[in-house]
A and B are shown apart, each in its own frame.
Chain A
């Protein structure tokens, strides 16, 4: 069967029969990678998940960005001439200083000077008629049809461009307040940026007045964001919010020109699903030229990209790693990026091995399978892959996974003081009994580092070594933290009133419920492992797995008991992790992110202090005492800090893992000839087994033919006639 299909046609194509890309693309200077789930949103005001930011970070340019090589992560200007100049004013509007206590500061002003000559990518939204009016403001039927293809608006003839203006940033900040946009950060930014909430109501009123009509945000006033002139932007915050600087490096604050919003606002496009949300327009190094989120998304070099150079100094070791070779080269270094959709792990992994992906893509779970990790945690690629020249980079992600206890629960939380004391000891016992090291080596294939507290490495406040050890769970033994013994766990359990996991009064066995969503951390093998671990100290585990929505609901209503959750850093500041345990963020009480409903006045007090401190020894002290509290109270079992592994082929250069920034593709470089050569070498089709297969089929037919020959014929009733 396969024979009839393959052989004639396969003869017709190039040297690699299994090349998933058109032969016209051979040897070009692009990066080939993959994505597993189609991006839901590409609108910079909405996109919040890694899979989405991975695309638009290459296209949009917020005012700030992170240095590619330096660690700890440091902010540098992207479209600015210098870092923002920050001025404080007290309640009565008089100038104040950094040192002024936070509660006396009335507003904070960020003044930013844009660098000159920053241009947008070519896009029809900018094209104009000779008389200067926008050209594509109401598309005719033919154009509207053309736009529906995979090339989208880029299908329209001679696109225009223009310089970046401060007004574009203002416009985007206004979009955050647009009810139709539904920006996930509007809720919190509404509190910080002056007048944003009011603006939102105003827009609502306008929509109500004339529904279905595009709302021009330019005339609407927003005191919190003003363009002094074309190149000067001023953002005003209520009070003091030091973390805001980090938001300025996120896509939410990327520029969106009014023309673009208007262009996509026209009904013809909205109907055919061509929107900012699907076709981003930016000043960044790349622009989207092909968008078929079901199979292939392609970015191409933005010809108008402003002059940005590859960094010349990084952290020690970068030079040795060859990361400084492209020093001062003009970015971007490659012509484009091709993202292919890959849902199943088997095809994904094999295409990488065959050299059709340069690096593991946006989601790389199946890649982690391939990496050999020892129990001691050191990592390397398998010999076969090493022979292929595949290199491995790992770094600890700035996120934390934890097993949370719902402190409103009578057993693990408790109401009365006595109950709470017992529950605390119980939580500590569990923290010891559940052996994360083993978990990580079995289930994550070593892709993680045991958690010591809510703050992961790479975030200010995290300390390694003895200083950073969680003394409740570990003891420091000859230079390494060592998990306390099961005996100690049992002792704690007995103190908690559950000797051998039985209630001291009633003898009732201690049964704990773990609420999970099936799949991921909730799958059978994980749960079996968990219950085996807990059985060691006589505690019995009941798994209550539900679907994602129900799980969320349980957390909201506080009906969960124990649960797994994780948190990715929005920005590298301890505040972004501690607020997960901040009382006023309580999930049940205030619908916040504090799912454990942990509420410790002392902690909250320290939190409020810590938030407004600059990084430094003083802040470290506060953080340490906060850590001491949450380790003692153990509202979470600090499960692990996930590690990212990225496998890269030998032809991919200038690649350095970066857990905070995503706009890194502009720095990378490929050796296209080497890639071409290796691909050919690795993908020689193996023909003979196939030939054998075909031969086998034919061999089967042979006796059939013979049998037929030997059949003289049948009588009227279909029986054999004896040939005499």
Chain B
């Protein structure tokens, strides 16, 4: 088991290097350091000296990949690529273009992001599973059919509409919750979280419900269900006793991969509801073309994704002891 984990982690390294190469190439095609400097220094009275200083201060005056002027190992290490990308492996996110510590920002903003993402994930999962079960319970009836159509309908609505509509109705017209904002203490901030959480659940409900429904239907088709029925168990007993338990396995192993990514929060919801999380951080960075931040977020995102993959494998062994990881 441990050896397996180590191996997986070892495999992750080349992938992350690849990720860095891709993003780095993209971003330095986008903006030369000079452009970044002008962007950050503003429009008024920007002198070439100021730009040179800005670049020097952030180490953008070095060559991209290979530093001829340097010696031996320095040739590789004393370059923009090494500075800006490879240091990420050591967890050094460096500074954003406007000079703030990115690592610290990320630490600060994970909380708010989780405050939205975690309830959304947990409640959403519970709700969708129970809905799916209900549809399965009434399979073949008009309830099932309308339910599926409703799901497809929900799937067809852009999440932007849910957000804008939700804010308009519940916060502007009904005045039930603050229309946006956040408090640093998540326990007192619940009345800021209600609406965004509700909105993001509703936005995601259609697709997953339909998916889980198909999974449960698969289960129902299996032999053990027939035998159980043959034993004369009631439909409900069969469903909640056997089908649910076995159906949960593919569902859970399927969602494990997203759990780490919950830290990243949601781009749209956060920036609409003024939640100071990682999602809105990313959006701001994109708007301000702050590539140091975007690079850091890309790296963080891919790390979390890889962690998710590993967790998935682990979850398989957990639900099915026959699987051994070597």
Contact = CB atoms under 8 A, between A and B. Distances in A.
Contact of A5 (B143, B194, B226): B194
A271 B41 CA distance: 22
A447 B274 CA distance: 27
A593 B45 contact: yes
A19 B98 CA distance: 33
Given A38-B284, A184-B41, A707-B141, A344 B178 contact: no
A708 B41 CA distance: 67
Contacts of A17: 175-177, 191
Interface string A307-336: 000000000000000000000000000000
Interface in A1-58: 1-2, 5-6, 9-10, 13, 16-20, 22, 38, 40-41, 48-49
A549 B39 contact: yes
B47 to A, nearest CB: 4
A718 interface: yes
Interface stretch (A508-516, A526-534, A709-717): A709-717
B305 interface: no
B284 A182 contact: no
A180 B57 contact: yes
Interface string B178-221: 11111110001011101001100110000000000000000010
A295 B184 CA distance: 9
Contact of A350 (B39, B104, B172): B172
Given A40-B98, A593-B45, A717-B226, A18 B178 contact: yes
Interface stretch (B6-14, B69-77, B227-235, B315-323): B227-235
Contacts of A182: 41, 50, 53-54, 57
A347 B109 CA distance: 21
Contacts of A277: 99
B271 A350 contact: no
A628 interface: no
A686 B109 contact: no
B215 to A, nearest CB: 16
A603 B179 CA distance: 54
A515 to B, nearest CB: 15
B79 interface: no
A716 B226 contact: yes
Contacts of A684: 175
B324 interface: no
Contact of A273 (B46, B100, B168, B171): B100
Interface in B51-103: 53-54, 57, 98-101
B181 A295 contact: yes
B30 to A, nearest CB: 9
B177 A18 contact: yes
The main secondary structure of chain B at its interface with chain A is helix
A150 B184 contact: yes
B148 interface: no
Interface size class, chain A: 35 or more
Contact of B234 (A295, A552, A713): A713
B31 A714 contact: no
Contact of A184 (B31, B44, B123, B182): B44
B250 interface: no
B174 A689 contact: yes
Contact of A295 (B47, B137, B164, B274): B274
Given A13-B191, A187-B50, A350 B226 contact: no
B201 A711 contact: no
B44 A148 contact: no
B282 interface: no
Interface residues of B, number: 76
Contacts, number: 180
B170 interface: yes
Interface in A692-718: 703-704, 707-708, 711, 713-718
B179 A1 contact: no
A148 B108 CA distance: 10
B181 A340 contact: yes
B50 A9 contact: no
Contacts of B1: none
B47 A187 contact: yes
B38 interface: yes
Contacts of A48: 42, 44
A669 interface: no
Contacts of B274: 295, 340-344, 347
B22 interface: no
Contact of A185 (B45, B100, B167): B45
Contact of A704 (B99, B138, B184, B234): B138
Contacts of A662: none
B118 interface: no
A617 interface: no
B174 A346 contact: no
Contacts of B171: 18, 347, 350
Which of A10, A278, A347, A686 has the most CB atoms of chain B within a 10 A radius of its CB?
A347
A133 to B, nearest CB: 29
A510 B100 CA distance: 49
A271 B101 contact: yes
B171 to A, nearest CB: 6
A20 B48 CA distance: 45
A184 B50 CA distance: 8
B44 A708 contact: no
A548 interface: yes
B122 interface: no
B265 to A, nearest CB: 12
A392 B46 CA distance: 36
B272 interface: yes
Interface string A377-418: 000000000000000000000000000000000000000000
Nearest to A689: B174
Given A182-B53, A295-B274, A346-B164, A20 B180 contact: yes
A294 B45 contact: no
Contact of B175 (A41, A685, A708, A716): A685
Given A344-B271, A707-B143, A690 B176 contact: yes
A148 B104 contact: yes
Contacts of A467: none
Given A2-B194, A683-B175, A713-B234, A549 B35 contact: yes
A711 B235 contact: yes
B257 to A, nearest CB: 25
A554 to B, nearest CB: 12
Contact of A294 (B138, B164, B178, B280): B280
A354 interface: yes
A351 interface: yes
A272 B31 contact: no
Contacts of A185: 45
Contacts of A6: 176-177, 194
Given A5-B197, A341-B274, A552-B38, A347 B284 contact: no
Interface string B148-176: 00000000000000001001101111111
21 contacts: A1-B123, A5-B198, A48-B42, A184-B45, A184-B46, A186-B50, A292-B108, A292-B276, A295-B181, A295-B276, A344-B271, A350-B179, A351-B178, A351-B179, A354-B175, A354-B179, A548-B289, A685-B175, A707-B141, A708-B137, A718-B139
| A-B pairs, 3 with minimum CB distance | A294-B276, A347-B180, A549-B35
